[in-house]
Every structure is written in structure tokens, then in C-alpha cells.
Amino acid sequence: MDGSAPGLGAADPQLQRFIEVETQKQRFQQLVHQMTELCWEKCMDKPGPKLDSRAETCFVNCVERFIDTSQFILNRLEQTQKSKSAFSESLSD
């Protein structure tokens, strides 16, 4: 996706930037939702008024692993995209 909304043609750069930022916000919120759901299911045995130390440690570890995994996947996708671009450029030379 090039960031421009369908039907806008040569859209205002500010509008395009706004759409990109809002899309990034939406993706971030989806990641937070996924992380919250995953870690809650994994770490909360019995909801109570306070987190016990085991649940707290589990949440910290779960969030850290989720972030690490998300970053690893993002980096891997970027590497793959760069490799494809370099390969396509070498074919066109």
C-alpha cells in the first residue's frame, strides 16, 4: 500500500502522512490487544485484588518475549523485503 487513499489521486502530502500515522497507531493498538490477551490467558490463574509475584513475573516475561518476537519478525520481514528488492534490481541490470 502506498499510503494514498483510493480515489484521491495526487493527495495532499499532509493527508497521506496523517493516514500513515493513523494506520501505524491502529497496528500498534492491535499488537497491544494481542499481547494483553495472550499474556492474560497465560499468566492469570485466578483474578484477585492483587497480582501475586508469580503472575507479575509471568506478565513481565510474557510482554518481553512478545516484544522480542514481534521485533524479530519485523526485522526478518525487512531483511526479506530488502533481499527481494536487491534481487529484482540485479535482474533488471
The DSSP result for 33-73, as a single string, is HHHHHHHHHHH-SS--SS--HHHHHHHHHHHHHHHHHHHHH
pTM of the model: 0.60
Average of per-residue pLDDT across 62-73: 91
Q: What is the pLDDT of residue 40?
A: 93
Q: What is the pLDDT of residue 93?
A: 63
d(C-alpha 53, C-alpha 36), whole Å: 18
